[in-house]
Every structure is written in C-alpha cells, then in structure tokens.
Amino acid sequence: METWYGLAVDLIVIAVFIAGIAQFRTPRGARRGNLTTAIAFAATLGLIVYRNTVGYPLAVIPAAVIGGIAGWTVSARVNMTRIPALIALQNGAGGGASLLVSLVELGRATADTALLSTIFAIAGVLVGGVALSGSLVAAAKLENRLSPRPRTLPGHNLILVLLLTTTASMSIWSLSLEGTQRVVALALLAGATLVFGVTFSVRVGGADMPVMISLLNAFSGLAAAFVGVAIGNQMLTAAGAMVGSSGTVLTLVMAKAMNRSVGAILAGRQLAEQAPAAPACDRAEAPETENASVETAQADASTVREAGPADDSPARRATAALAGATSVIIVPGYGMALAQAQHEVAELAAKLESAGKLVRFAVHPVAGRMPGHMHVLLAEADVEYDKLYEMDAINDEFSSTDVAIIVGACDVVNPAAITVADTPISGMPILNAHEAKAVIVCNLDEKPGYSGVPNPLYDDPGTIMLLGDAKETVARLTGGPTG
C-alpha cells in the first residue's frame, strides 16, 4: 500500500513540474511557472529527505544552508546583463553535481551492481563533465574573460573523437580496479571529461552563445536524468528528463531562428546559410526583387523623412519624425540591456500611445544573450505582453510603419544578413527595420555588432543616428514633441 501511495505522490509532484514548465510559454506565465516549479523542487527535496536517512547531517545541513545563502546572494546582486553568464554557471553547477554523484556510484559499484545503473552512471559522468566545463567556458566568453571568437584547434574533430573514446574506455577500465586504484582512475576520468567539455565548447563563437546555453541546459538536465536512473530516484529522472527535453527543443528553435544547424554551430562555423551576394541598398532605392507593397511604402517614406529641415540636429529630426508618425515599432537589443534603458523605452512608448500612435515592440529570438532576454527586461518596465511581437508576427508590418526605433540592436536588424554573402550573419533572418519609412537608431556608437559585420543601415540617408548612452538618447526622445 505504501508503494502505491508513494508512487501517487511522485506522480502528483511530477505533474506539478510539468504544469510549471508549461507556463513558460508566455512572459506573464513564466513568473507563475518559476514559483510552481520551485514548489515542486521543494516538495521533491522534502520527499527525498523523508524517504532516505541522511548519513552525515552535520555535513549535509550546513553545506545546504551555505550553498543556499551563497546562491541567493549572488543571484540577487546580478543584473540582467549578467544573467546569461549566471545561467551558464548554474547549468555547470548542475552538471558538476551529476558528475560527482555518478563518480560516487562508480566508485562503490560491485559485481552485483545492476548493469543498467552502471551504464547510466558512466553516462552521467560524461554528460555532467561536459556540462560543467562547457558552461564555464560559455560563462567566461559571455563575461569577456575569454575571447568570444571561436577557437578551433588543428584536427579538432579528431581530438574530440579521441577524447570521447578515451573517457568511455576509462569508465569501463575503472570498474576493473579496486580501492585506491579505482579512485585514481575515476579522478583521471573526471579530468578527461572536463577537458572534453572545454574542447567541445571552446570553438563555439560568442554570437552563438544563446544556442550554446540552451544546449548546455539540456545537457545538465540529461545528466541529472542519467543519475536518477543510476541511483534509482524516479523524481530526479523525471525532472532531469523534462529539463533535458525542453532545453533540446529551445536549442532547435534558437538555431532555426538563426537559420543555422546545431551541428554547424557546434563545429564553430561562422557562416550561416549563405545568401546570394548583392550590394547593400538603402530604402530609397529598393531592388526590383522586393514586393510591390514594400516599394510603395518606401516611395512614401519622404513624408516622414522630411519632417524637419535637413540641417536640423539628429535629435530634432527624430522628434519631428515621431511627431508626424501614426505607427511606430520599437526594436530592443542587448545595448538596451547594457544601458538599463528599458524604463525609458517603456516611458517613450507610453507617451507615443497617449498621442494616439500605434506602438509595438519587435523582438528577435536572439536579441540579447539568452532566450527571452528582451521579454524579461521589458516586463520589468511593465510593458504589456500583448505589445511584444515575435519576428514572424511583426516582420511584414515594417514596410507600412512610419518609424522604427532601434534601441541598442545591430546584428538583428543588419540588412547585410540578406544582401551580403560570406559573413558571420549571412542568411540569418533579421527584423526588417530597414523597410520602415524612417529609422531612428539609439545606439552607443556606429561600430558593428557582436558579429563584427558593418551595418549598412547606419549609412542610409533615411536613418537618424542618435549616438550615445541609450538611457539618455531615449529620454531625449521622450522629452521631445510626439504629436
């Protein structure tokens, strides 16, 4: 009876896990989802402690308290621009925990140990070690502690194959040893998996880190699932499997948004699917291949561009363009996060709306350095969720929009991605801000984005460049006339 009762409790907690993850489909639901999954995790921890005897409570309890306080303190002090690196470290911590538990299980394995448990413990070592060291590399690149450029070694693929073969062989070999020899062998195995993780992740470029973080998240969940099977804990298996599967789906979605395969990203290839070479063009002279609606919108652009005298300052031209506009699309980017300008952007949007203008936000899937980065920032500033549009839902609207305001974004609006071949962003889908009748760019400078590809939009005569800290330039727009 107790067995059935325990199984029912486990299924209820797993259902709560699933319900929490399901809420992450929307920014508003994500808040509830975090709380729901946190409750499920707390229940899981309570069940584990209740069902198992803690052999060394004087060691476990202080460690749990210290770890909890340290995690809370670090997370509370990290701002949004550093959250991607923090998430990478958390992925690594999960992988490291799985690595340690798997090593312990292998260390005490005997001839009577179930073969399935041993196999999954070996898998936990391999995947957990890769998640740990790979996440540390990702965090270092995001924090500029390592160069964000991909580092490819001579014979990189061969090295990876040799490391994988070595770690798998060492796993099996260690089981044939006893006592101190096995401990030494397992220590060498752990070191080999960590080297494999570094080699695996170091050739991924910084611009691809959103995809890499998602993949490492999947790895940490997968490692936890393997450990769950190895130690016979169905709660850990279920939770790890959910994290692994959701991370895998997110990885595929992110790669698709960049028009690249996961394999190409992991191979360190900096070229996406290459677009046919074509000269960059401004909105005033659209190529004949563009559709008629875009050409019509571009022909009408002069009514907005000439809202102010040609010799006016950029700020006056920008405010005049906004005054004459009826529809505005705002494109947030990582520069907005760095400047912490989301509140000023929300204030500008509210002022434009109060003047009777249609205001929408266009969010590129890889804007920022992690999935959903811009959504979280704008949610902090109380921007309504129904005003946030994904790329597929908003791209066709730029051609009929009076003004596009770009705040701290470059690569995700760079027309070179569709007009120039053989660049790191060639073939990557972008937000079509260049099709708007006028563009206002609130960026720190005119330098290329993270990819290093110059943006021809900056040289377009219909683009108004407001250079400087986005917090200040957006505030300047808010203070100007809007209608």
Nearest CA to 134 among 33, 60, 59, 218?
218
In a shared domain, residues 197 and 297: no
Question: Could you tell me if 131 and 228 lie in one domain?
Answer: yes
Are both 323 and 389 inside the same structural domain? yes
Question: CB within 8 A of 216, min separation 6: which ones?
Answer: 88, 91, 92, 95, 131, 134, 135, 138, 201
Please give the C-alpha separations between residue 38 and each of 10, 17, 220, in angstroms, as whole numbers.
15, 9, 17
d(CA 203, CA 16): 38
Structural domain boundaries, residue 324: 292-479
One domain for residues 202 and 104:
yes
Asked, for residue 28, whether it belongs to a domain, the answer is: no
In a domain, residue 108? The reply is yes
Same domain, 368 and 241: no
Q: Examine the domain organization and report whether 387 and 472 are in the same domain.
A: yes
Select from 266, 301, 329 the last residue of a domain.
Answer: 266
**Which pLDDT does position 295 carry in this prediction?**
38
Q: Which of 10, 311, 402, 411 is catalytic?
A: 411
Q: Are residues 233 and 297 in the same domain?
A: no
- Assign residue 315 the CATH number of its domain: 3.40.50.1220
Does any domain span residue 69? no
Q: Are residues 170 and 238 in the same domain?
A: yes
Q: Are residues 160 and 113 in the same domain?
A: yes
- Spell out the residues 6+ positions from residue 267 whose beta carbon is closer than 8 angstroms to its own: 157, 203
Residue with tokens 């699933």: 18
Q: Give the residue from 204, 231, 266 where a domain finishes.
A: 266
Fill in the amino acid letter for 18: I
pLDDT for position 316: 86
pLDDT for res 146: 83
Residues 438 and 315 in one domain: yes
Residue 412 in any domain: the answer is: yes
Total domain count for the chain?
2
How far, in Å, CA of 401 to CA of 329, rounded?
Answer: 7
101: amino acid identity, one letter: V
- Give residue 71's pLDDT: 85
Looking at the DSSP bridge assignments, the partners of residue 405 are 330, 440
CA gap 163, 200 in Å, rounded: 10
Residues 324, 466 within the same domain: yes
Residue stretches of the chain with pLDDT short of 50? 1, 271-311
pTM of the model: 0.75
pLDDT recorded at residue 283: 39
In a domain, residue 396? The reply is yes
Answer yes or no: do 256 and 343 share one domain: no
Q: Which tokens hold the place of 232?
A: 């016979």
417 within a domain of the structure (yes/no): yes
Q: What is the DSSP string of 84-113?
A: HHHHHHHHHHHHHHHHHHHHHHHHT--TTS
Query: Residues near 301 by Cβ (< 8 Å), separated by ≥ 6?
Result: 283, 284, 437, 438, 462
207 within some domain: yes
Q: Is residue 411 annotated as part of the catalytic site, yes or no?
A: yes
Does residue 9 sit within a domain?
Answer: no
